[in-house]
Amino acid sequence: MTELKIEATIDHTLLKPEATAEQIKTLCSEAVKFNFKTVCINPQYIPLAKSLLDGTAVEICTVVGFPLGAMTSESKAFETSDAITKGAHEIDMVIAIGKLKSGELDYVEQDIAAVVQAARKQTVKVILETALLSADEIASACKLATKAGAHFVKTSTGFSSRGASLADIEIMKANISKDVKIKASGGIRSKEDALAYLKAGVSRLGTSSGVAIIQGEKSTQSY
């Protein structure tokens, strides 16, 4: 696994509510410099990121129903459509966690499908928030995301009690189709962390520590 390969898997992330425009500008500059796959930002900064990244290879990823997943499907679909219209290339949506835990599986599947449809064939990643789920619930969520047409399942928002774990990844791998990929996020702070997840079969890494990872340093970032 080469460093270039690691770079190409990173969604360079800044989702803190207090993130400033200047910090987003820095994020975009770093993403271009280090050849990251995307910047992952809150929707309000999509126009700014677009103005900075047009003409580069770096794409824009944004979040929907974030970080709780408890919004209505209609709200998530509108947020998705608006984000795509403004220039987002990828959507990371939070699953309806409470509905999943209540056993309302049809609702969960339809909630994901509404976002997939609103995304107009752009990439949709479904954030499971694995810290809040049992192994059986993780497996169920992966199957529902697959049925609903999502392109990725993703471990975490980075705002819960923990981020990704290799144990989560094994459950996810066993419950998706070959066409669905995995994004690990939360707690990936070093090159060693990144390589471990990529070796485990992850295709994308969500991290605010991308620069440190590429430079072989250990980050203290929480996400």
Q: Read off the pLDDT of each residue in 207-217 and give the average, rounded to a whole number.
A: 94
Instruction: Report the relative pairing of strands 59-64 and 38-41 from DSSP bridges.
Output: parallel
Residue 142: how many CB atoms within 10 A of its CB?
Answer: 23
| Tens digit of each residue's pLDDT (9 = 90 or more) over 131-164 | 999 999 999 999 999 999 999 999 999 999 999 9
Whether 101 is catalytic is no
Average pLDDT over residues 113-136: 98
pLDDT digits (tens, 9 = 90+) for 11-33: 999 999 999 999 999 999 999 99
Chain segment 45-81, per-residue pLDDT in tens: 999 999 999 999 999 999 999 999 999 999 999 999 9
Give the relative orientation of helices 73-86 and 105-118 as an angle to the nearest 10 degrees: 20
Q: What are the structural domains of the chain? A: 3-214 (3.20.20.70)
- Among the options 92, 111, 168, 193, which is catalytic? 92
CA separation for the pair 101, 92 (Å, rounded) = 20
pTM of the model: 0.95
Q: Is 218 labeled as catalytic in the residue annotation? A: no
Q: How far apart are CA 185 and CA 164, in angstroms?
A: 6
In the predicted model, what is the mean pLDDT of residues 4-9?
Answer: 87
pLDDT confidence of 5, banded at 50, 70, 90?
confident
Report d(CA 60, CA 102) in Å as an integer.
33
196 Cβ contact partners less than 8 Å away, ≥ 6 residues apart: 166
Question: Catalytic: which of 99, 125, 183, 191?
Answer: 183
List C-alpha distances in Å: 93 to 1, 20, 57, 79, 108: 29, 22, 23, 10, 12
Answer whether the bond into residue 67 is a cis peptide, omega within 30°: yes
Percent of the chain with pLDDT over 70: 96
What's the token pair of residue 129? 């928030």
Query: Residue 183 catalytic?
Result: yes
Task: Given the residues 37, 76, 154, 191, select the one marked as catalytic.
Answer: 154
pLDDT at residue 3 tops 90: no
**72-117: per-residue pLDDT in tens?**
999 999 999 999 999 999 999 999 999 999 999 999 999 999 999 9
Please provide the average confidence, as pLDDT, over all residues in the chain: 96
The pLDDT score that the predictor gives to residue 69 is 98
